[in-house]
Structure 1
Amino acid sequence: MTALLDKAPLGVAVRIARINWDAMSHDEGRRLREFGLMEGCEVTPLHRGSIFSRDPLALTIGRMKVIIRARQAAVIEVEPTA
């Protein structure tokens, strides 16, 4: 069962099942790949924006913490880790 990363529960590790690369610009896609966001990798959503906004989304990828936009997270399908 997959869900979208922007709706994933905070503090729970998930695995990236699919990324709709066509829904973002070439530069956005390149930036996410440089962070290591690829199908099959495990990420943990840490926190979202502020009281008034769900943007941006902070994640851990391995030992690294990164920030992505909510609209980018909305095109990333995730599934529970085994």
Structure 2
Amino acid sequence: MLAKLDSSPLGTTVRIARIDWTSMTHDEGRRLREFGLMEGCEVVPMHRGSLFSREPLALTIGRMKVIIRGKQAAAIEVEPTTP
């Protein structure tokens, strides 16, 4: 079952199933690819914004921690990983 990255549970590893590259600018897409966000990659959503906002979203990708915008996270579909 696919879900959007922006609504994935915090602290749970998910696998990127699909990214809607057309919903973001060329520079946004390039930045995400530089971080290693591609189909098949496993990420862990760690923290969302503040008390009053759900963005930005902090992710762990391997040993790296990155922050992406809510709009970008909404363009990424993820699936649960199997243990």
Per the shorter chain, which TM-score range?
over 0.9
Unaligned runs of 5+ in 1: none
- What is the deviation of 1:59? 0.2
Q: Secondary structure at the match of 2:50?
A: coil
Q: TM-score, normalised by structure 1?
A: 0.99
Give the structure with the larger strand fraction: 2
Which letter maps to 1:2?
L
Partner residue of 1:79?
79
Aligned to 1:4: 4
Q: Secondary structure at the match of 2:16?
A: strand
Listed as ranges, the gaps of 5+ residues in structure 2 are: none
Q: Which residue of 2 aligns with 1:55?
A: 55
TM-score normalized with structure 2 length: 0.98
**1:3-82 alignment, distance < 5 Å:** 3-82=3-82
Distance 2:40 2:69 in 1: 20
Report Cα offsets for 1:18-44 as digits up to 9, x if no partner.
000000000000000000000000000
Identical pairs, percent:
78
Which runs of at least 4 in structure 1 moved beyond 2 Å after TM superposition? none
Aligned length: 82
